[in-house]
């Protein structure tokens, strides 16, 4: 899902010949939310409060889940990290989902280390595990929504400055005929 590259790199500051990356990430997050609300594959539980497809565990192992009507990439598995880590882009939708996951579904999907990696209501399955790649983005992305502090701190670094230089070079090259 879209949040991994932007835990530190502030997409508000990224615009190229094609898009503003904050706006693009918001659009992608809204597409995910709308997909679950429309629920074209009729998966149990999907809706405005249950959404979030990304690579995660599922009842048969591990898979890169993504929206798509009649897609083999959507088996009904929801990863809490996808909706929660989208909070800077979809604050109302993500907060409503976070509250629903915790207060309404918590006894099933919340454990001693936070939200379990994923769940699939149609298969009556909840992951027994917590994957660091999925746990890790949630707190900094919530904080990016709240204060922007992770973005502010990273964007001051020499690494961020080098990234922005390379992106500017690539964007300039893309504009040339």
- For the chain, domain boundaries: 4-175
Confidence of residue 158 (pLDDT cuts 50, 70, 90): very high
Asked whether the beta carbons of 118 and 77 are under 8 A apart, the reply is yes
CATH 1.50.10.140 holds for 4-175 = yes
pLDDT bin (cut points 50, 70, 90) of residue 162 is very high
Residue 160 predicted with pLDDT over 70: yes
Q: Which of 81, 84, 109 is nearest to 94 (CA)?
A: 84
Q: What is the mean pLDDT of residues 43-68?
A: 96
Pick the more confident residue, 170 or 142.
142
**Dihedral sign of CA atoms 161, 162, 163, 169 in order:** positive
Q: What is the longest distance spanned by two Cα atoms in the chain?
A: 57
The predicted structure's pLDDT at residue 23: 97
């Amino acid at each position: 899902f879209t949040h991994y590259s932007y835990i530190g790199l502030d997409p508000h500051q990224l615009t190229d010949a094609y898009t503003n990356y904050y706006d693009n990430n918001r659009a992608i997050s809204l597409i995910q939310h709308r997909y679950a609300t429309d629920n074209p594959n009729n998966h149990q539980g999907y809706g405005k409060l249950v959404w979030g497809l990304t690579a995660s565990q599922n009842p048969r192992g591990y898979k890169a889940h993504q929206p798509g009507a009649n897609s083999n990439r959507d088996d009904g598995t929801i990863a809490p990290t996808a909706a929660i880590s989208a909070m800077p882009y979809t604050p109302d939708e993500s907060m409503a989902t976070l509250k629903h996951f915790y207060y309404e579904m918590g006894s099933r999907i919340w454990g001693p280390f936070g939200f379990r990696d994923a769940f699939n209501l149609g298969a009556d399955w909840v992951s027994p595990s917590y994957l660091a790649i999925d746990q890790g983005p949630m707190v900094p992305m919530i904080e990016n929504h709240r204060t922007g502090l992770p973005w502010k701190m990273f964007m001051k670094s020499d690494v961020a400055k080098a990234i922005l230089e390379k992106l500017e070079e690539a964007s300039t090259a893309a504009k040339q005929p």
